[in-house]
Amino acid sequence: MEEKFFFGGTAYLGIPFNSQFKELVFEGIDLYGINHGASRNNNVSLDVFALAEAEAARRCLAEEAIIVSSGYLAAQLVIQHYHEKSKLIYAPDTHPALWIGEPKPPAMNFNEWALRTVDEVNSTDQAVLLITNSLNNLFPEIYEFDWLKKILPGRKVSLLVDDSHGIGIGGERGEGVYSRIPQIPHIECIVVASMAKALGVDAGLILGTKKTIDRLRTSPVYAGASPPSPGLLHAFVNAFRIYQEELGKLRSNIKLFTSLIDERENISYLPEFPVFLIEDSDAGNYLRSKGILISSFAYPDPTGPTLNRVVLNSRHSNRELKGLAEAILGNRKQAARANKCESTDK
């Protein structure tokens, strides 16, 4: 069988194949069973849910946390709690999990949207929920939030940030975006995330102040939804060392790979983020011919141009990274030859 190498997906810390993490999952299943289908508001509950929420809040440097069965549910719990009493203002490229109805996020860059949003919020007395991602993982860009300081006191503003691609790998120890958002007394900050990516747990996370989290726990959406697998949460609670080790490996892999592709004009990336956008539309096909599979499909518009992205994880070996870099260089040389022939023909 031909050997192939995979550089896609979102398992940035390689958790789905981590043997130590799997042992913790099996241990959790032995303790708590495969699932627990009761409401979180049931008078009888398992201690692992509260333990996991306390641990998530601690690791992400937040006051409180809620863990639900998916990132989509986490986003919808917040959106549905706010949408009837707040004006929803969507940032560009917000994930559909954050939508209610069919909003039309603006087609502009994030910084332009932020400036326009400050003006819009400052000119209204209406309660507002600002909705955004923490970063754009398709065209690698990490968003900053200092612009929130320009919102005038007295405005009724809540901020909802989706950190699904930052949680576990962003920040000094994988704490994500929550502590990086300016803490402004008149702006309520809520962060949601899928735990199924870097953290390897099929669950969704909500971070906020105790006041905010207590209010969200009164939501019918929270009361009516079953929790995630207690065995997985047991693993999450006890896997901090595993996460830190894998984060260190991932960052070493990013450092090595960026040194191998230094000054490649057709690759866009950010330091310490494991996604690399190749700006050659045929790169996916070329790399596939070399036994290398990357993320190569049209998104978000299935009829639009193909996005070719290399995604690193902590399990990639030095040999695999060097082979990938050599293949990318080969693709670049082939593209240059093709362009030269095309110019000659003209």
Position 26 scores a pLDDT of 98
Q: How confident is the model at residue 302 (pLDDT cuts 50, 70, 90)?
A: confident
What number is the average pLDDT over the span 46-70?
A: 97
263-284 confidence digits (pLDDT tens): 666 899 998 899 999 988 889 9
Find the largest Cα–Cα distance for the chain: 77
Using pLDDT thresholds of 50, 70 and 90, give the confidence band for residue 107. Answer: confident
Q: 150: Cβ–Cβ under 8 A, 6 or more apart, which residues?
A: 118, 122
CA distance 263 to 125: 49
Token pair 């990357």 is at which residue?
Answer: 294
With 0.75 as the threshold, say if the pTM is over it.
yes
Q: State how far the Cα of 262 lies from the Cα of 121, in Å rounded to an integer.
A: 42
- Please write the tens of the pLDDT for every residue from 81-93: 999 999 999 999 9
Are 133 and 91 within 8 A, CB to CB?
yes
Rg (C-alpha) for the chain, rounded Å, is 22
Percentage of the chain lying above the pLDDT 90 cut: 79
Kindly report which listed range (103-117, 242-256, 294-308) carries the lowest average pLDDT score.
Answer: 294-308
Q: DSSP of 269-330, one letter per residue? A: E-TT--EEEE--TTHHHHHHHTTEEEEEEE-SSTTSPEEEEEE--TT--HHHHHHHHHHHHH
Question: How many Cα neighbours within 13 Å face the side chain of 47?
Answer: 2
- 150-184: pLDDT as tens digits: 999 999 999 999 999 999 999 999 999 999 999 99
pLDDT exceeds 70 at position 217: yes
pLDDT at 343: 46
How do beta strands 306-311 and 292-298 pair? antiparallel
pLDDT, residue 340, reads 46
Which of the residue ranges 87-101, 282-296, 324-338 would you say has the lowest mean pLDDT? 324-338
Q: Is the pLDDT of residue 337 over 70?
A: no
At residue 345 the predicted structure's pLDDT band, cuts being 50, 70 and 90, is low
- The more confident residue out of 344 and 58 is 58
Burial class of residue 178, CB neighbours in 10 A (0-12, 13-18, 19+): buried
**Sign (positive/negative) of CA torsion 271, 272, 278, 283?**
positive
Tokens 């099929």 sit on residue: 202
The count of other CB atoms within 10 Å of the CB of residue 138 is: 15
* Confidence (pLDDT) at 264: 65
Task: Supply the pLDDT for residue 272.
Answer: 87
| Burial class (CB within 10 angstroms; exposed 0-12, middle 13-18, buried 19+) of 187 | buried
Residue 1 has pLDDT above 70, yes or no: no
Tell me how far apart the alpha carbons of residues 50 and 48 are, in angstroms, rounded to a whole number.
6
Summary mean pLDDT of the chain: 92
Q: What is the DSSP pairing of strand 306-311 with strand 275-278? A: antiparallel
Quick one: pLDDT at residue 333?
60
Query: What's the CA gap between 13 and 311, in Å, rounded?
Result: 11
Measured between alpha carbons, how far is 137 from 244 in angstroms, rounded to an integer? 22
pLDDT tens-digit profile of 223-277?
Answer: 888 899 999 999 999 999 999 999 999 999 999 999 998 766 689 999 889 999 9
CA angle 111–102–11, rounded 5-degree value: 65
Q: Is the pLDDT of residue 52 over 70?
A: yes
Min mean pLDDT across 276-280, 307-311, 338-342 is at 338-342
The pLDDT value recorded for residue 299 is 77
SS3 346: coil
Residue showing tokens 């994930």: 95
Residue 108 CA, distance from chain mean position: 21
Is the pLDDT at 218 greater than 50? The verdict is yes
Q: Are strands 135-136 and 141-142 parallel, antiparallel or unpaired?
A: antiparallel
DSSP 95-139: -GGG-SS-----SS-HHHHHHHHHHHHHT--S-EEEEEESEETTT
